[in-house]
Amino acid sequence: MKSGWTGGMTNSTETTVKLGEDFAKFIEVGDVFAFIGELASGKTTFIKGILKGLDFEKSVTSPTFTLVNEYDAKYPVIHIDCYREEDLERWLKLGINDYLSDDNIVFIEWADKMKPLLPENTFHINFSHKSSNSREIILSNS
Ligand SMILES: Nc1ncnc2c1ncn2[C@@H]1O[C@H](COP(=O)(O)OP(=O)(O)O)[C@@H](O)[C@H]1O
Ligand SMILES: [Mg+2]
């Protein structure tokens, strides 16, 4: 990831999409992002914006049940959701290490549930639900 992005505060769904779109400019192939934050804190909305910024025009939904989505965007993007699957053995069987390839950009919602499987250089983005429409989205060290 290129340096210079620290995060932001948003006050609508649309501004979170926009923040994601801007964030996309800082992403480099091989980056892995852990998105941490409670339900409805804006993780999927932010990822929708990133995909927009990476020229992906089709719809983006959280892979809550399918666990992994693959998008053929400007670069290959893998979108993972751990909410319903905390079993690390199952993630290994699903091929998590293949998804975490240097050729991909990887976004992981609820990544705290698979912490032991994450590469050391994973970027952590924390989401906080501040009030009904405001969300704080910040890059953190862990
Ligand atoms: N500032 C905001 N940023 C993101 N989502 C917001 C915001 N304000 C309201 N919302 C709403 O909150 C919900 C966020 O859902 P989502 O992005 O799916 O969260 P998560 O993936 O963290 O569960 C959506 O219904 C969205 O429209
Ligand atoms: Mg989600």
**DSSP H helical ranges for the chain:** 13-23, 43-53, 88-93, 96-99
pLDDT digits (tens, 9 = 90+) for 26-70: 999 999 999 999 999 999 999 999 999 999 999 999 999 999 999
> What's the pLDDT at 47?
98
Q: Say how many Å lie between the CA of residue 61 and the centre of ligand 1.
A: 12
- Nearest ligand 1 atom to the CA of 127 is 22
- Nearest ligand 1 atom to the CA of 12 is 1
> What's the pLDDT at 142?
65
Model confidence at 141, pLDDT cuts 50, 70, 90, reads confident
Q: Which listed ligand is nearest to 39 at the C-alpha?
A: 1
Domains of the chain, with CATH numbers?
A: 22-140 (3.40.50.300)
Pocket test for ligand 1, best of 11, 13, 131 (most atoms within 8 A of CB): 13
